[in-house]
């Protein structure tokens, strides 16, 4: 294992992470290298369940190259970041297996170039986007967001992307567009989890997700094409994935090939698998527990050795209530979980 302990202290979340610290950290991680023995026992869970691994174990396999991206920096966020090595080695991407280290180990051969994204349904101008052209033509922004998994672990990730609303407006949604449905690539040849119900955690593929149109058009909702200054690693959903920071991580569908604007609430993968556990809304809410565990607190995966993490309180709407609570005014959030 090459990721060494770099002091046991965690930078408090309230502390500003200056750019120098960010860059320093990046060069330290680079110096440590990304290859090493994982040595972790694989756990095969049907259903989202935290296997209690701290993350940060480097994948054994060589990682697919990532391209540097041009972007404007996020100067607003004052969060201490989860190190890049942990962001890219502690993943959920069941198409590549159900243990946290499976995606980094099994996804490196996913062919992400060329990649097209179809936008269809209730739009005046349906069309097909070349995702690599989109990356070149868009003014990409860095967004440093908290990421709270429904399994009660969390990270802070510097994403790069563009607002989903900006993208959707190009296709002119009609007045009948009430929801947005998303679909991941379906390619069992490339995605072993799609070939076996056991390996793929029992999900009916392709993985699908959805948002209400006002959630999709909200300025915090982004289509991410990168993290830590470079294009997305395959395990994090290359080349394009959804990020909705006030919702549980499973809403953040990866490697998207289709967006369809629709009139009715679309089906979503985890809700289909266990509707009493995973709702359509999936807003982070410390007051509404998962039937099998509390959502009041979370294990923050930050600096420190691979197994180090700190317990912290979970924030309503993951800390983005000021910006998004009005979307749900008058709604019973216990009923619409």
Binding residues for ligand MTE, per CB under 6 A? 48, 91-95, 149, 184, 207, 236-237, 249-250, 252-254
Structure token pair of residue 52? 């209690």
Residue 100 CB, shortest distance to ligand MTE, in Å, is: 8
User: At its nearest, how many Å lie between ligand MTE and the CB of residue 124?
Assistant: 28
Q: Which residue is nearest to ligand MTE (CB)?
A: 249
Least distance between ligand MTE and beta carbon 78 (Å): 21
Task: Closer to ligand MTE by CB, 173 or 256: give it.
Answer: 256
- Min. distance of Cβ 310 from ligand MTE in angstroms? 18
Give the three-state DSSP class for 14: coil
Least distance from ligand MTE to the Cβ atom of residue 276, Å: 17
Q: Which is nearer to ligand MTE, 104 or 217 (CB)?
A: 104
Among candidate residues 181, 66, 75, 144, the one with its CA nearest the CA of residue 319: 144
Residues 135 and 225: beta-carbon distance below 8 Å: yes
Residue among 325, 215, 336 nearest 278 (CA): 336
**Count of residues for the chain?**
337
State the alpha helices, DSSP H only, in 138-262: 164-169, 213-217
Q: How far is the CB of 92 from ligand MTE (least distance, A)?
A: 4
> Cα(43)–Cα(152) distance, rounded to whole angstroms?
17
Which residue, 173 or 210, is less far from ligand MTE as judged by CB? Answer: 210
Give the nearest distance from C-beta 145 to ligand MTE in angstroms.
11
The structure tokens 């179809």 sit at 118
Between 173 and 193, CB nearer to ligand MTE: 193
Tokens of 158: 């510097």
Instruction: Using the minimum distance from each CB to ligand MTE, give the nearer residue, 122 or 260.
Output: 260
Nearer to ligand MTE, 48 or 140 (CB): 48
Distance CA 252, CA 263 (A): 21
- Mark 236-245 as b/e (b = at least 16 C-beta within 10 Å): bbbbbbbbbb
> Taking the C-alpha atoms of 330, 218, 50 and 209 in order, what is their torsion angle to the nearest 10 degrees?
90
85 to 35, 168, 233, 298: CA distances (angstroms): 10, 32, 11, 20
Helix (H) or strand (E) holding 195: none
Q: Toward ligand MTE, which CB reaches closer, 236 or 314?
A: 236
């Amino acid at each position: 294992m090459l990721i060494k302990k770099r002091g046991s202290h965690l930078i408090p979340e309230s502390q500003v992470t200056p750019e120098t610290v960010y860059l320093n950290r990046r060069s330290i991680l680079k110096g440590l290298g990304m290859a090493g023995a994982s040595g972790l026992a694989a756990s095969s869970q049907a259903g989202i369940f935290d296997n209690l691994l701290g993350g940060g174990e480097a994948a054994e396999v060589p990682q697919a190259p990532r391209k540097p991206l041009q972007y404007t920096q996020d100067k607003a966020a004052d969060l201490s970041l989860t190190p890049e090595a942990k962001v890219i080695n502690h993943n959920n991407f069941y198409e590549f297996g159900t243990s946290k280290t499976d995606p980094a180990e099994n996804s490196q051969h996913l062919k992400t170039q060329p990649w097209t994204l179809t936008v269809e349904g209730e739009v005046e101008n349906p069309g097909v986007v070349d995702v690599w052209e989109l990356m070149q033509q868009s003014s990409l922004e860095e967004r440093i967001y908290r990421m709270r998994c429904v399994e009660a672990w969390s990270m802070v990730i510097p994403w790069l992307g563009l607002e989903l609303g900006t993208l959707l407006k190009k296709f002119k949604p009609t007045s009948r567009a009430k929801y947005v449905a998303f679909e991941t690539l379906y390619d069992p040849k490339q995605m072993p989890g799609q070939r076996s119900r056991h390996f793929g955690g029992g999900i009916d593929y392709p993985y699908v997700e959805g948002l209400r149109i006002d959630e999709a058009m909200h300025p915090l909702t982004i289509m991410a094409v990168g993290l830590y200054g470079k294009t997305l690693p395959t395990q994090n959903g290359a080349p394009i994935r959804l990020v909705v920071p006030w919702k549980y991580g499973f809403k953040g569908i990866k490697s998207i090939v289709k967006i369809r604007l629709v009139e009715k609430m679309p089906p979503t993968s985890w809700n289909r698998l266990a509707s009493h556990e995973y709702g359509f809304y999936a807003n982070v809410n410390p007051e509404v527990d998962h039937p099998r565990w509390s959502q009041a607190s979370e294990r923050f995966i930050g600096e420190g050795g691979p197994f180090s993490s700190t317990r912290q309180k979970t924030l309503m709407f993951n800390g983005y209530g000021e910006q998004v609570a009005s979307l749900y005014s008058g709604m019973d959030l216990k009923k619409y979980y």
